[in-house]
Amino acid sequence: MKSFIITILTLFAFSATAQYKIGDIATDFSLKGTDDKMHSLADFKNAKGYIVIFTCNHCPYSVAYEDRIIALQSKYGSLYPVIAINPNDPRAYEIDSFENMKVRAKEKGFNFPYLFDDGQKIFPQYGATKTPHVFLLDKNRKVQYIGAIDDSTQPEGVEEKFVENAIADLEAGKKPKTNYTKAIGCSIKTI
């Protein structure tokens, strides 16, 4: 009986914090970008995969990675486009509002779509818990890697480029050797 209750509780816990696992098929979406256009994964007809990054304006960890996200798009964008999504409720952080996203995208010269998860419907499906949080998908939207961009918040300390290595493995027709990593981040705000 006790184990039965534990099973039920465990199931409940999992359903409450559903998160894509490696191998799951990620949902597509249609979200507005700072260019005022709607964007979907399906728009990228020639993509061999997608680098979906939940990120935002207010979080210093996100800010610390902005240049590296731009670099990822420059290097891989034609085959593995970066799609950045701000999952935060701007009522929690005014700086994460759609208008402020436009300001930041322009300031930094974002070379990738920066989308607003209006109504906060997409991030819970992916199971993003924080910013920045990366989901690397293959061309069938199958989740191949979840976690951090690399192994060091300080760019000069980077030894392992997780996302780049995962893409290299996919390109070589292999499963990413490292498919799950963790990093400190700002928890996603809901109200």
Interface residue list for other proteins (CB under 8 A): 58-60, 64, 92-93, 129-130, 147-148, 151-154, 157, 162, 181-189
Closest distance between other proteins and the C-beta of residue 157, in Å?
5
Backbone phi, psi, residue 113, to 5°: -65, 135
Closest distance between other proteins and the C-beta of residue 182, in Å?
4
Using the minimum distance from each CB to other proteins, give the nearer residue, 122 or 183.
Answer: 183
Closest distance between other proteins and the C-beta of residue 148, in Å?
6
Q: How far apart are CA 28 and CA 31, in angstroms?
A: 10
Dihedral sign for Cα 122, 125, 131, 133, please. Answer: negative
Quickly count: other Cβ atoms within 10 Å of residue 91's Cβ: 11
Q: How far apart are CA 133 and CA 183, in angstroms?
A: 8
- Report whether 86 contacts 116 (CB < 8 A): yes
Using the minimum distance from each CB to other proteins, give the nearer residue, 111 or 129.
Answer: 129
Quickly count: other Cβ atoms within 10 Å of residue 102's Cβ: 17
Quickly count: other Cβ atoms within 10 Å of residue 178's Cβ: 14
Using the minimum distance from each CB to other proteins, give the nearer residue, 31 or 59.
Answer: 59
Using the minimum distance from each CB to other proteins, give the nearer residue, 97 or 129.
Answer: 129
Using the minimum distance from each CB to other proteins, give the nearer residue, 109 or 157.
Answer: 157
Closest distance between other proteins and the C-beta of residue 154, in Å?
5
Q: How far apart are CA 104 and CA 96, in angstroms?
A: 10
Closest distance between other proteins and the C-beta of residue 163, in Å?
12
Q: How far apart are CA 133 and CA 83, in angstroms?
A: 12
What is the CA angle 93-187-140, rounded to 5? 110
Closest distance between other proteins and the C-beta of residue 39, in Å?
26
Using the minimum distance from each CB to other proteins, give the nearer residue, 39 or 58.
Answer: 58
